[in-house]
Amino acid sequence: MFVPEKRKVAAVCGDGHVRLVEQDVPPLVPGAVLVEVHASLVSPGTELGGWRALRARRDDPDTDAEPRPFGYANAGVVLEAGEGVEELKPGDRAACMGGGYALHTDYAVVPHNLCVPLPDGVTFAQGSYGHLAATAVNALRRGEPQFGESVCVIGLGLVGQLAAQLYRLAGNFVIGWEGIPFRRELAHRCGIDATVAVGDEDVVEVTRRFTRGYGLDAAVIAYGGDADETVEKLEQSMKCSPDGHPMGRIVVVGTPRFAYTSTLTNIDLRRASRTGPGYHDEPWEFGPDYPPVFMRWTTRTNLALCMRLIAEGRLDVDALTTHTIPLAQADEGISKAIEDPDAMLGAVFVRQP
pLDDT at 273 > cutoff 90: no
> Where residue 64 falls among pLDDT bands split at 50, 70, 90?
confident
Would residue 25 count as lying in a domain? yes
Domain boundary among 256, 271, 286: 271
Co-location of 289 and 329 in the same domain: yes
**pLDDT (average), residues 62-73:** 93
pLDDT of residue 4: 87
Largest CA distance in the chain: 70
Opening angle at CA 292, ends 291 and 293, nearest 5: 95
Co-location of 267 and 293 in the same domain: no
Residue (of 33, 39, 47) closest to 105 by Cα position: 39
Co-location of 125 and 33 in the same domain: yes
Of 157 and 263, which is predicted with more confidence? 157
Domain boundary among 243, 271, 299: 271
Secondary structure of residue 115 in the 3-state scheme: strand
Co-location of 212 and 258 in the same domain: yes
pLDDT at 2 > cutoff 80: no
Co-location of 62 and 88 in the same domain: yes
Q: Judge contact between 34 and 68, C-beta under 8 A.
A: no
Would residue 1 count as lying in a domain? no
pLDDT at 256 > cutoff 70: yes
Co-location of 238 and 143 in the same domain: yes
Co-location of 150 and 203 in the same domain: yes
Spatial distance between the Cα atoms of 322 and 301, rounded to a whole number of angstroms: 28
Domain range enclosing 110: 6-129+276-350
Kindly give the interhelix angle for 130-143 and 158-169, rounded to the nearest 10 degrees. 50
Calculate the CA 31 to chain-centre distance: 25
Co-location of 82 and 156 in the same domain: no
Would residue 78 count as lying in a domain? yes
Query: For the domain that residue 344 is a member of, what is the CATH number?
Result: 3.90.180.10
Q: Judge contact between 137 and 164, C-beta under 8 A.
A: no
Co-location of 65 and 17 in the same domain: yes
pLDDT of residue 13: 95
| Predicted TM-score of the model (pTM) | 0.96
Query: For the domain that residue 235 is a member of, what is the CATH number?
Result: 3.40.50.720
Co-location of 144 and 264 in the same domain: yes
Would residue 89 count as lying in a domain? yes
What are the two backbone dihedrals, phi and then psi, of residue 349, each rounded to the nearest 5 degrees? -85, 135
Spatial distance between the Cα atoms of 10 and 348, rounded to a whole number of angstroms: 12
Spatial distance between the Cα atoms of 73 and 134, rounded to a whole number of angstroms: 11
Whole-Å CA distances, 122 to 126, 260, 278: 6, 43, 25
Co-location of 254 and 192 in the same domain: yes
Would residue 186 count as lying in a domain? yes
Co-location of 79 and 40 in the same domain: yes
Would residue 244 count as lying in a domain? yes
Q: Judge contact between 31 and 112, C-beta under 8 A.
A: yes
**Residue type at 351?**
R
Domain count, the chain: 2
**pLDDT (average), residues 269-298:** 95
Strands 68-69 and 18-24: unpaired
Average pLDDT, the chain: 96
pLDDT digits (tens, 9 = 90+) for 144-170: 999 999 999 999 999 999 999 999 999
Domain boundary among 240, 271, 302: 271
**pLDDT (average), residues 104-128:** 98
Q: Judge contact between 42 and 348, C-beta under 8 A.
A: yes
Would residue 243 count as lying in a domain? yes
DSSP per position, 281-327: -HHHHHSPPPPTTT----HHHHHHHHHHHHHTTSS--GGGEEEEEEG
